[in-house]
C-alpha cells in the first residue's frame, strides 16, 4: 500500500463517484484476500455457513453503531445463503459431492467501516476482505500448480489456462494475503475417532490425511515464494478444526499424546492445545506452516446436536436457540447452537488482516 493511500485512509478520504446513490459495492476501498482451503469432506461448507450466519448477526448488531460491519454474500454457483438457512433450521448443509472436478468458489466478502483518527462519521476508513474457496483435491492441485510453474512460454501458459482453469487458480493464489485451512477432527490418524480421507474415490489421493493436506498447501506456498516480487506475501494462516466437539470426550487421550493439557474451549490455552494437536496428528502439515515464520492462529468449530432428524439416524439435528437468547429457545428456529464465540474470534482475526497496512 502506498504512503498516499495510507494517508487517505488515515483522514478518511473516499473518492467521489458520479452515482449519487452509491452503495458499498461502488466504493473504492482497501481490499485483501483470505483464501479458504481444505481437503474433501473437511467441513468447509458447514463452517463457512456458520461463519456467514455469525457475520449476519454481527452486521445487524453494528448497524446503529459508529463502527459498521457488513456481510456481502457472493454466491455465484454456490448455495451459501441456503446453507446458512439450513443451519438455522437445524439441518447441516448438504455435503459437497465427492468429485475430481475443481472449482474456485467466491463465498463472501466482509467490510469494516470505522471513523478515522478525527472521529467523524463522514471521515471513515473502509477495509474489505474477499474470501474465496479453493475446492481442489490435494493431488489434483499439486499437478496443476506444477504445470503452471513449468510454463516457460506464453503459448504454454495459455494452453494450461485453456484446458484446466489454471488462470483462475493462479490469480486467486496470487492475491492471497492469508490462508484459512479447514481440518476435520476425525482426520486425526491415531485417535479412536479417525476416519480416512475418501482416497478410494479420487485417483491420486493418499489414505493419510496429513499427506493430502500438505499436498494442498505446498504448491500454494511454493507459488507465493517463487512469485514474491509480484504477489503479496502470506501474512497469516488460520487453522479451523471442524467437528471439534468430537475431541472433548477424548481430551485426556489427546493430552497423553501431546504431553500438554488439552482444552480447545479455554481461551487461555486454546491456541496451544490445537497447535499441539496439529503437531501430534498432522506433523507434516504443522511443520510446513510453522516453518514459514508467520502468525498461525487456531479456531475450534462445532455445532451442538440434539438427536437425529430421520428415523435411520443418519442426519444429526442441530440444537436451535432464540435469536434474542430467551429461555424458550427450543421452539425457535432462528439461531443454531454452535461455537459462536470462536466464530466471532475468527472474524476479528480476519479484521486484523484487513486493517494491517
Judge whether 329 lies within some domain: no
| Direct distance between the N- and C-terminal alpha carbons of the chain, in angstroms, rounded to an integer | 7
Judge whether 1 lies within some domain: no
Number of structural domains, the chain?
1
Q: CA-to-CA distance for 186 and 243, rounded, in angstroms?
A: 8
Coil, strand, or helix at residue 255?
Answer: helix
Judge whether 314 lies within some domain: no
Sequential DSSP letters for 64-77: TSSSEEEEEE--TT
Query: Residue 264: which CATH number?
Result: 3.40.50.300
The three cell numbers of residue 219 are: 504448491
Coil, strand, or helix at residue 299?
Answer: strand
Judge whether 315 lies within some domain: no
pLDDT, residue 21, reads 40
Judge whether 142 lies within some domain: yes
Judge whether 308 lies within some domain: no
Look up the domain containing 351 and give its range: 28-303+338-355
The three cell numbers of residue 280 are: 501430534
List helix spans (H) across the chain: 3-11, 44-62, 80-88, 138-150, 154-164, 166-175, 209-226, 251-258, 270-281, 283-290, 340-355
Which H helix or E strand runs over 286? helix 283-290
User: Going by DSSP bridges, is the β-strand pair 316-318/30-38 parallel, antiparallel, or unpaired?
Assistant: unpaired
Judge whether 311 lies within some domain: no
Judge whether 115 lies within some domain: yes
Q: CA-to-CA distance for 163 and 223, rounded, in angstroms?
A: 20
Going from the first residue of the chain to its last (357 residues), give the mean pLDDT of each consecutive group of 10, the final group possibly shorter: 51 43 48 90 92 94 89 81 91 73 78 74 80 69 57 54 60 89 96 86 80 87 82 93 96 95 97 97 97 96 90 86 57 76 96 83
pLDDT, residue 76, reads 67
The three cell numbers of residue 322 are: 432464540
DSSP class of residue 303? Answer: B
Q: Give the Cα-Cα-Cα angle 254, 198, 139 (nearest 5 degrees).
A: 100
User: Going by DSSP bridges, is the β-strand pair 68-73/305-308 parallel, antiparallel, or unpaired?
Assistant: unpaired
Which H helix or E strand runs over 154? helix 154-164
Q: Decide: 40 and 186 in contact? Cβ < 8 Å.
A: no
Q: At 228, phi and psi to the nearest 5?
A: -65, -15
The three cell numbers of residue 338 are: 454452535
Q: Which residues contact 332 (CB under 8 A, 6 or more apart)?
A: 320, 321, 322, 323, 326
Q: CA-to-CA distance for 185 and 16, rounded, in angstroms?
A: 49
Q: How many CB atoms lie within 10 A of CB 325?
A: 8
Amino acid at each position: 500500500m502506498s504512503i498516499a493511500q495510507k494517508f487517505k485512509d488515515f483522514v478518511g478520504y473516499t473518492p467521489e463517484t458520479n452515482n449519487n446513490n452509491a452503495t458499498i459495492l461502488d466504493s473504492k476501498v482497501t481490499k485483501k484476500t483470505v483464501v479458504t482451503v481444505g481437503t474433501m469432506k473437511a467441513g468447509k461448507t458447514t463452517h463457512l455457513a456458520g461463519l456467514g450466519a455469525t457475520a449476519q448477526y454481527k452486521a445487524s448488531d453494528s448497524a446503529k453503531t459508529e463502527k459498521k460491519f457488513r456481510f456481502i454474500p457472493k454466491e455465484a454457483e454456490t448455495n451459501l445463503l441456503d446453507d446458512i438457512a439450513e443451519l438455522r433450521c437445524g439441518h447441516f448443509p448438504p455435503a459437497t459431492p465427492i468429485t475430481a472436478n475443481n472449482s474456485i468458489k467466491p463465498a463472501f466478502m466482509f467490510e469494516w467501516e470505522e471513523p478515522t483518527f478525527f472521529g467523524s462519521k463522514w471521515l471513515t476508513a473502509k477495509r474489505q476482505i474477499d474470501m474465496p474457496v479453493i475446492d481442489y483435491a490435494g493431488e489434483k492441485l499439486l499437478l496443476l500448480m506444477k504445470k503452471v510453474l513449468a510454463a516457460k512460454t506464453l503459448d504454454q501458459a495459455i494452453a494450461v489456462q485453456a484446458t484446466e482453469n489454471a488462470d483462475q487458480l493462479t490469480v486467486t493464489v496470487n492475491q492471497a494475503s492469508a490462508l484459512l485451512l479447514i481440518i476435520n477432527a476425525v482426520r486425526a490418524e491415531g485417535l479412536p475417532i479417525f476416519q480416512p480421507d475418501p482416497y478410494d474415490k479420487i485417483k491420486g489421493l493418499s489414505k493419510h490425511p496429513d499427506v493430502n493436506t500438505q499436498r494442498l498447501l505446498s504448491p500454494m506456498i511454493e507459488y507465493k515464494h517463487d512469485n514474491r516480487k509480484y504477489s503479496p506475501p502470506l501474512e497469516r494462516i488460520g487453522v479451523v478444526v471442524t467437528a471439534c466437539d468430537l475431541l472433548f470426550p477424548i481430551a485426556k487421550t489427546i493430552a497423553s499424546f501431546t504431553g500438554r493439557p488439552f482444552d480447545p474451549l479455554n481461551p487461555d490455552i486454546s491456541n496451544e492445545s490445537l497447535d499441539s494437536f496439529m503437531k501430534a496428528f498432522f506433523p507434516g502439515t504443522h511443520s510446513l506452516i510453522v516453518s514459514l515464520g508467520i502468525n498461525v492462529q487456531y479456531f475450534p468449530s462445532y455445532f451442538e446436536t440434539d438427536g437425529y432428524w430421520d428415523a435411520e439416524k443418519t442426519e444429526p439435528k442441530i440444537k436451535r436457540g432464540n435469536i434474542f437468547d430467551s429461555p424458550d429457545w427450543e421452539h425457535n428456529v432462528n439461531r443454531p447452537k454452535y461455537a459462536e464465540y470462536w466464530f466471532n474470534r475468527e472474524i476479528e482475526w480476519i479484521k486484523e488482516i484487513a486493517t494491517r497496512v
